[in-house]
Amino acid sequence: MNTSAASSLGTNPKPGSTYPIKNLKTMQDFNKELNQPLLKKGHTILIDMTCFQSGVIVPYQGTHVWDSHHVKLPHLYPPPESPNKSHSPPSHWDVTCRALHNLTKGNNSIGDVQTAIMSYNSNNKDRWTFDALFLYGRHLHAKDNNLHLLIPNMAQLALDLPELIKQPIPLLRQQQNQAITMSQQQISCLLANAFFCTFPHRNDTKPGSEYANYPTINFSRCYTDHITLVHSDLKILVLYQFIIYIYKTRAQKLRAIFHYFNTVTNKSHNQDPAKPDGLVTFERTSIQKSQLPKWKIQKKTLTNLHISSEGSIEHEGTGMLQVDFASKYIGGGVLGSGLVQEEILFFMSPELIVARLFTEKLADNECLKITGPQMYSFTSGYSKTFSWVGPYNDPTKRDNWKRRYRQIVAIDALDFKNPKEQYTKENIKRELNKAFVGFHGDMKTAIATGNWGCGAFKGDPKLKALIQLMAAAVSGRDMAYFTFGNKELAKEIQRMHEMLTINKVTVGKLYKLLKKFCGNCAHERGSPTDLYKFIREKIGQKDNLL
């Protein structure tokens, strides 16, 4: 059965042309699904829904807990001592409050920020440096020139934690279908605490530690860079290259972060449309093995494809399900040295960073969907060429729950040390299942994606495009695919999609062809035969599709 929306609409594109992006469905076409009640089993809502219905966003009043199932919040640390101890030193939060309160007085230097952070992180005095933060202060601060106003506002925002978060935040743990909805103001408060590194037990992610299975959330790595000089003759050159690298990457990251905080703390223009006043939902989805598709018997054919070498997932894909080429630790190297698709996305929309606070490492049958994040910045470049360009005033409309019509799905691709490893039945099935978990859902918006797992993870973009198209077909969604400037790749994928559609090749038949290709690769030395050439040849041999 052909599920192509093009057929149902009678708008099949002409041969050689791509499906019009304007015809793809977006979130605004699914208001009924988006506006369903949020309050349901497994969904924690950190605001009072009764007040929300009256147009006011206030925290929900709950009872805090300190356990392994919830975020351990800074103002609860340490937990109460046993009643046998009548005298105790100031709590960790008391020390933190004093340090942050000093920053609210204004006229702060970067050194003052360092002193404050280290006053309640003394265990890390020999490990943490603030090189990147000082570099920002010396160079880019001269352009932005707002830290003397911004740091006090950020410190006050962090101090507002007990007033803004009044119930436990559950950890989104593996193999549990759970969701959290919180206000953008609550997110900004949690991120301000992350900036000032206040979260307890979150600086150690070594194997066996309490949070070994979670990403870091404190921003210490964003400020820290270590350099080891082995040969003194190289010292000047290496140091110069190091400073240039920092200037172009970490300092640019900090520009995006500081712009975000400047937007959310700016008290001089409360009517500013950029000032966040909505909600964001974080939803972890797990699909058990027995519920995953049996790929070899799938009868659906490929759905509509818009493909272009121009445009981006983040902008042209607005309103679609936007794919985050994720690390299994959500956010990847966003707080460290990483600067590829996922990290850049998180700097454009820093509210995504808060997912690191409560999202356990993704398993092979899981994804994380974020609904409603706001975009704050324009950026340019990739990796070492990354830079913050300027503010972005997000015009994206909101649903009834005041969530932006923006939905991002984090799915992690396999990392192939040897590219040939991807051509196995097991690995192709894993990637199909992972994509399906991400694309599955009641809201059938188009998917905005691209070369998922094809950079540092060494994926074959031709194979990954087919895998995503197959998962999209089984999920009943169309696709917008952006090749990031690669015109030839866009043409090749377009021609392959057209050939498979014309020949009404089902997902099941295509899966069998991929398995056969894998069998051939196992017996070949060196680079495998071109995948698309192999498929075209086999499509001409009808017996091979049975």
| Catalytically active residues, by annotation | 324, 342-343
Q: Which of 377-384's residues contact partners 24+ apart within 8 Å by CB, and which partners?
A: 377/256, 377/259, 377/260, 377/347, 377/348, 378/348, 379/256, 379/344, 379/347, 379/348, 382/339, 382/340, 382/344, 383/339, 383/340, 384/245, 384/248, 384/249, 384/339
> 480 - beta bridge partners?
306, 448
Question: What is the SS3 assignment for 319?
Answer: coil
**Rounded distance, CA 352 to CA 182, Å?**
12
In the numeric block, which tokens belong to residue 118? 């280290």
Q: How far apart are CA 379 and CA 312, in angstroms?
A: 12
Peptide bond into 78 cis (omega under 30): yes
Round to whole Å and give the CA distance between 443 and 35.
Answer: 11
Distance between CA atoms of residues 445 and 459, nearest Å:
26
In whole angstroms, give the CA distance from residue 546 to residue 529: 22
Confirm if 477 and 302 have CB atoms less than 8 A apart. no
For every residue of 244-311, which 3-state class applies, written as one string?
Answer: HHHHHCHHHHHHHHHHHHHHHHCCCCCCCCCCCCCEEEEEEEECCHHHCCCHHHCCCECCCEEEECCC
Is residue 25 within 8 A of residue 446, CB to CB? The reply is yes
Name every residue whose Cβ is closer than 8 Å to that of residue 289 and which is 6 or more positions away in sequence: 365
Closest among 335, 122, 76 to 218, alpha carbons compared: 335
DSSP 105: T
The token pair at 393 is 């005033």
Among 285, 297, 95, 305, which Cα is nearest to 200's? Answer: 95
Our separate counts of H helices and E strands in the chain read 20, 11
CA distance 503 to 500: 5
